[in-house]
A and B are shown apart, each in its own frame.
Chain A
Amino acid sequence: MKNLYLHIGAHKTGTTAIQKFLSMNRDNLKKKGYLYPGIHDAHHFIPEKILMGNQLHDDSKNHIEQLFKEIQSSDLKNIIISSENFENLKEKVPELKNLLKNKFDCKIIYYVRRQDERLESLYRGNVKNPTNRLQDTLAEYYTKFDTVSDYYSLLSPWREAFGEKNIFVRVYEKGQLPHGIYQDFLTIIGLEWDNNLNIPTNQINRGLGWDLTEIIRLCNIQFPNDPNLHQFLVRNLSKVQINEKEKNYYGLSPQQRRNIVKHYDKSNVKVAREYLGREDGRLFYAPLPDPNEPWEPYEGLTIEEIVPIFTQMLYNMDLKYQKKFRKLHRHTISGKNYGFGKYLSGIRLRIIQILKR
């Protein structure tokens, strides 16, 4: 029986980076006996198919069939499948199990992140997300914190379906990932680090800073029905590089963050005891924020922040058009010369032809 490593999330725990890493190293992994099927970075179509049921057009069905064909025809023992959208299946997990038809020895990999950090990250992601285009401020978003993620109840359908010993919970926290996320993932699937592996160079799906997020949010309010503008903003603002002095800045106050962590405390303790076998019930090792530590609420955009951002957007646009024009110029000029040269040689040949006659 083949091993199937199912990486199911969660959102905002470096999933895009892991997927990019796996897809970049497909050939390398094949040599080691691991198959990362398909040609795309991730396998989002599987959870999509299950969630949407029959509403979806046949494309994704074909995708799944193709995927199983590839898995069957391959003689590699280990298969990796990754999509953070598996996380959303919840009560539909048995459907996934039916789809796999007991053919595989399944191992579920799930990364968890402390809920206060996750909430901030989700907030920024939702503002950036082309379908959500969130308009709320962080303070408004905070009021819904009880819907963020109860990891214990999220994991229980998976436990019922695949068994407790097949679920691997990892903690997405700097102190608990001493060698970085890629190496951590490799050790779970039973591989060792190898210098031949490629690491994605540029940071992937990097969250935008607070200032850039705020600009997009303001535009979401002004232009709620303009996805093209949203796309333009995300594309251009991601290229903007500003001095990020606010790297360790939290948009939520220490007290708010404590509230969130407290809300999920019971669930987190259960996860730590039952899935990680930690007797003390500590899932996250990072210290809780001190309620008295100095903190200032986010003040919104100031001129000093807006000016460099907008200037850089304009500058990037200018560069882009200059490049484009240069290319076009070269193209037409050379095309002209080529055409004219051809024209002359054509006349010459024509004359020769006439003379030969």
Chain B
Amino acid sequence: MKKTVYIHIGVHKTGTSTIQNLLSNNRDVLKEQGIIYPGNKSAHHDMAKEFRTLPLEQILKKNSRSQAYLREIIESPAEKSILSSEVFETLIFNAGKLREFLPHDLEIKIIVYLRRQDDLLESKYNQRVREPQIRLEKSFTDYFSSIGLYNPKLDYYNKLTPWADSFGKENLIIRIYEKDKLRGNLFNDFISVIGLENADSIKVPDLAVNTSWSWDIIEFMRICNNSFRKDDGMHDFLLRSLAKARVVEKEKKRLLSPQQRREIIAHYADSNAKVAREYLGREDGRLFYAPLPNLDEPWEPNKGLTVEKVVPIFMQMLHNLDKEMNKRSHTKNILSKKSHFFNKITNNRFIQSKNVYSYFQKRNRR
């Protein structure tokens, strides 16, 4: 029987970090069930980056990361293996390179999650403000106008075509990232896709990873990005302290108006319908089942930060700083107690090491 390799290629902002976290935390459990997740990192971004930047000859050399992962897959007795990185999604022109690299006696399945473009756009903005390499300074309206209503990067049919050409349509497993569409939750959905029979022993992490932040905190971060463009330490501090800050929200606010969302959906409608027909065999051409945004639903543009919003954020930051310092002063006490303990021994009248030590030192010098 052929070995199967599942390649989870994204797309960005469809819970990839959460899935990767689940897989890397359960390496041992998966191995027992005949599935390997190669390497020891949480994901295989390094492999995907090699395909994006290096020519094939260089990847085929023995010391590349991709070769190391492939060797692990081939040498292991396990029948199934998983590679996961959302960076693979960007390999539009390089999917063929990946096909050439992988030996033909392996059966390749490509797993890709799709999310409706209006949701994706907001989520992307949320990510780009936080991302240390990007640190977006634009307000959402500016960002939205720079992306435009239609962007080929978000066109799923375009995106999937090179993958289908290289690996075959039947080997693409397309899942819809939509709350109702996922069986149970994201974890169960992914587990069912890779065909894991005994899923009970999998340790499911309590928290989702890399969840999107509240818009108030994103706005806060954006203002800081604007003022401290080059300060890496500052960005790190902000990520650290703002990730802990909580803002109470009854419901996740939308930045796009229902009208704008409808327009976006309309621009991608053809492409989405083609994906539904050709890859999922849905005659009606419906890719996403969530209802279209209701034009009458109450919506207000995001008004930005107000004093009422900023004050609690600052107070939480201060509180966290204080907590951290208390923790530190606690360890400081322990440390000083320990050193005190040793000092007590060394200053013991019976031993009087100091005097003896210095006495001998002096004598030796003479």
Task: Tell whether A pairs with B.
Answer: yes
**Is the pair A353, B356 in contact by a Cβ cutoff of 8 Å?**
yes
**Is the pair A343, B241 in contact by a Cβ cutoff of 8 Å?**
no
A305-336, CB < 8 A from B: 306-308, 310-312, 314-315, 317-319, 321, 325, 328-329, 332-333, 335-336
Give the number of chain B interface residues (Cβ < 8 Å): 39
Q: How far is the CA of A213 from the CA of B344 in the complex (A)?
A: 52
A61-93, CB < 8 A from B: none
Interface flag for B191 (CB, 8 Å)? no
Other than the given A332-B335, A335-B339, A339-B339, 16 more pairs (CB < 8 A) read A303-B223, A303-B304, A307-B305, A314-B237, A318-B237, A321-B324, A328-B332, A329-B332, A332-B332, A339-B345, A342-B354, A345-B357, A346-B351, A346-B353, A349-B357, A350-B356
Q: Which candidate, B146-154, B226-234, B293-301, is the interface stretch facing chain A?
A: B226-234
Q: How far is the CA of A243 from the CA of B231 in the complex (A)?
A: 13
Shortest A313–chain B CB gap in Å is 10
Which of chain B's residues have a CB closer than 8 A to the CB of A243?
A: 227
Which of chain B's residues have a CB closer than 8 A to the CB of A349?
A: 353, 356-357, 360
- With contact pairs A303-B305, A306-B310, A307-B223 given, residues A332 and B345 touching in the complex (Cβ less than 8 Å): no
B325-366, CB < 8 A from A: 325, 328, 332, 335-336, 338-339, 342-343, 345-346, 351-354, 356-357, 360
**Is the pair B357, A346 in contact by a Cβ cutoff of 8 Å?**
yes
Interface flag for A304 (CB, 8 Å)? yes
**Is the pair B336, A332 in contact by a Cβ cutoff of 8 Å?**
yes
Interface flag for B307 (CB, 8 Å)? yes
Q: How far is the CA of A318 from the CA of B322 in the complex (A)?
A: 10
Cross-interface CB contact of A332 among B226, B237, B318, B339, cutoff 8 Å = B339
Which of chain B's residues have a CB closer than 8 A to the CB of A314?
A: 237, 241, 314, 317-318, 321
Which of chain B's residues have a CB closer than 8 A to the CB of A286?
A: none
The 7 A-B residue pairs whose C-beta atoms are closest, nearest first, are A346-B353, A308-B227, A339-B342, A332-B335, A343-B346, A336-B339, A303-B305
Tell me the dominant secondary structure on chain B's binding face: helix
**Is the pair B342, A336 in contact by a Cβ cutoff of 8 Å?**
yes
Interface flag for A39 (CB, 8 Å)? no
A37-71, CB < 8 A from B: none
B78-133, CB < 8 A from A: none
Which of chain A's residues have a CB closer than 8 A to the CB of B354?
A: 342, 346
Closest to A344 in B: B353
Which of chain A's residues have a CB closer than 8 A to the CB of B321?
A: 314, 317-318, 321
Q: How far is the CA of A182 from the CA of B332 in the complex (A)?
A: 48
Closest to A325 in B: B328
